Chain A
Amino acid sequence: MVDRAATLAGVRDVAPMLLGVAPFGLVAGVAAIEAGFPAEVAVGMSVLVFAGAAQLALIELIGGGGAPAIAAATALVVNLRYLMYSASIAPQFRRYSARWRTLLSYLMTDQAYALTVVREGPVRAYYLGAALAMWITWQVTTVAGVLVGASIPSSWDLSFAVPLTFLALLAPAVEGRPTLAAALAGGAVATLGVGLPFNAGLLAGALSGIAAGGLFALRTEENPVAEAAESVGGAEDSADATEEPTDPAEEGGGEQR
């Protein structure tokens, strides 16, 4: 039913990325325990949410005494990018049944999306190989983190590995001046807002950053809105967006992993 050679190709292509995911999984497990999550909730989070950055954001906020509703809302903001992946990959999933599309969507990650979206023809077997390898790696490493988390002394300050992990993700996300503006505004507002009620500083920072990046792009780029739509395989009225970018600030603009 599923082409085994294509599945193995997916596993092979995602393998180097698993090395990058394993430390995130370990950190997510260790940090959840340090933040006071019971082991079964920490593992359940990896199964239900299955998204590293969002899980780490949740853990960070709950561990810092943040309001549960703000923590959940922040995790959802972090995961907004899946709307974009979903729109972008929808044509390739179109041929499969609703049940298959549900499973394929649940397994969606930055890595499986990025590997699959550039392929032609039927993608299910290849995507499953890459996505299931990611899923298994994520579950195994978070369980391992949960198991060792309890025995690590707090003097090691291992919770600092969480912001360091975000930093490693931030570097490739800043790919031009507009995204740099988004990062600077987001970081500044979140830092100034640390004392805000309900730990809302993070959410305020994220929204300010998105606004700053958008304003910067609107002032410095030609037709950035149509270009963004084009990058997710979108809008019909994108005649301008097919032109080669000429401004250096536009290089790689709109490309998201």
Chain B
Amino acid sequence: MTDATTLWAVVVVAGVGTLAFRLSFVMLFGRLDSIPPRLAFALRFVPAAVLAALVAPAVLGPLALDPTATTLADQVPRLVAGVVAVVVAWRTGNVFATIGGGMVTLWLVGAAVAAL
């Protein structure tokens, strides 16, 4: 378990860095009028790449190279819930519906697997 002082340090570093990003061009305006085109180009792919990297391991755990990863049987409710949530997210674009649909599926499939 990470201790509280370390957690504060992580939060402060992330907070100060984030504020620096938010301030960057707003404060530099006049000296640096526009974001370099190559940086703007790379930034275009940040949301899709980062969010997918956050989602996929949680849903596709057993496909990982990590030998300690959970087994496919443990993972089935998550896989099914993940697929349902993908469909809901793309169809509705609704946050509540995506979280709700995914969690309810997780519980239902989890209960079904436990009953087998």
Q: Interface on A for B, CB 8 Å cutoff?
A: 19-20, 23-24, 27, 36-38, 41, 44-45, 48-51, 53-54, 56-58, 60, 62, 68, 71-72, 75-91, 93-94, 98, 101-102, 104-106, 108, 156-158, 160-174, 178-180, 182-195, 201-202, 205-210, 212-214, 217, 224-226, 228-229, 231-236, 253-254, 256
Helix, strand, loop or mixed for chain B's interface? helix
Within 8 Å CB of A191, what residues of B?
A: 56-57, 60-61, 63-64
- Identify which of B15, B34, B110 contacts A229 (C-beta below 8 A): B34
Number of residues of chain B lying within 8 A (CB) of chain A: 80
Query: Can you list 25 residue pairs at the A/B interface with Cβ under 8 Å?
Result: A48-B12, A49-B11, A58-B10, A71-B10, A72-B14, A75-B18, A76-B21, A83-B43, A84-B35, A84-B40, A87-B34, A88-B25, A158-B103, A165-B98, A192-B65, A194-B57, A194-B66, A205-B56, A213-B44, A217-B45, A228-B43, A229-B34, A229-B37, A231-B44, A256-B43
CB-nearest residue of chain B to A257? B47
Contact yes or no, A164 B50, CB < 8 A: no
Contact yes or no, A44 B11, CB < 8 A: yes
* Shortest CB distance A253–B (Å): 8
CB-nearest residue of chain A to B61? A194
Q: If A54-B14, A76-B18, A163-B58 touch, does A90 touch B25 (CB 8 Å cutoff)?
A: yes
